[in-house]
């Protein structure tokens, strides 16, 4: 990869990582009059409880567990791609080329995060008809689009 494309790809990858981390960690995936629901906490008013607490008397849905797992594994895979992309920038003079590895990890990460977003979107709209998708959910969608664009950049520039 030439220097401009490598720097652009790395900048997009850093930004996609940050957006994904914010999306995963915030409690605004589903918003309703009763409160906000995230991947890890449910908030009502000023109080937030872990989704694993059974204080509200409902069991955690399998689809939420699937979304948590896919988003977390996808984020880890994207972080590995970031480490490889940084390593590629550092060793450009020695002839090592991790572009295809970065592309592979980005492809896997985008599929995992994309599937997680689709699972949450389909099951939440079916199960919780009264709520709206919150900004954390849409941030995950934007992160996945950014990862797709970064993947395309790495694929096009590695040819």
Kindly list the structural domains of the chain, giving each domain's residue range(s) and its CATH number in brackets, ordered by start. Answer: 3-157 (1.20.140.150)
Nearest CA to 45 out of 30, 35, 53 is that of 35
Taking the C-alpha atoms of residue 61 and residue 63, their distance in angstroms, rounded to an integer, is 5
Look at residue 39 and give its three-state secondary structure.
coil
pTM for this predicted structure: 0.86
43 three-state secondary structure: strand
pLDDT, tens digit only, all 159 positions of the chain: 566 777 888 899 999 999 999 999 998 888 888 788 888 888 888 888 887 776 554 556 788 889 999 999 999 999 999 998 888 777 656 666 778 888 899 999 999 999 999 999 888 777 665 568 889 999 999 999 999 999 988 887 665
First-residue to last-residue Cα distance in the chain = 9
Strand order, beta sheet including 47-50: 47-50, 41-44, 36-37, 30-31, 132-133
């Amino acid at each position: 990869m030439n220097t401009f494309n490598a720097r652009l790809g790395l900048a997009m990858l850093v930004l996609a990582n940050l957006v994904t981390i914010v999306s995963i960690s915030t409690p605004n995936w589903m918003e309703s009059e009763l409160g906000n629901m995230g991947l890890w906490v449910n908030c009502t008013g000023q109080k937030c409880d872990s989704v694993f607490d059974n204080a509200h008397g409902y069991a955690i849905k399998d689809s939420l567990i699937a979304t948590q797992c896919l988003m977390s594994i996808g984020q880890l895979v994207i972080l590995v791609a970031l480490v490889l992309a940084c390593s590629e920038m550092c060793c450009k003079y020695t002839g090592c080329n991790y572009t295809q590895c970065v592309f592979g990890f980005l492809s896997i990460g985008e599929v995992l995060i994309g599937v997680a977003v689709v699972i949450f979107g389909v099951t939440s709209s079916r199960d919780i008809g009264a709520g709206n998708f919150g900004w954390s959910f849409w941030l995950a969608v934007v992160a996945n689009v950014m990862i797709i664009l970064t993947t395309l950049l790495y694929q096009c520039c590695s040819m």
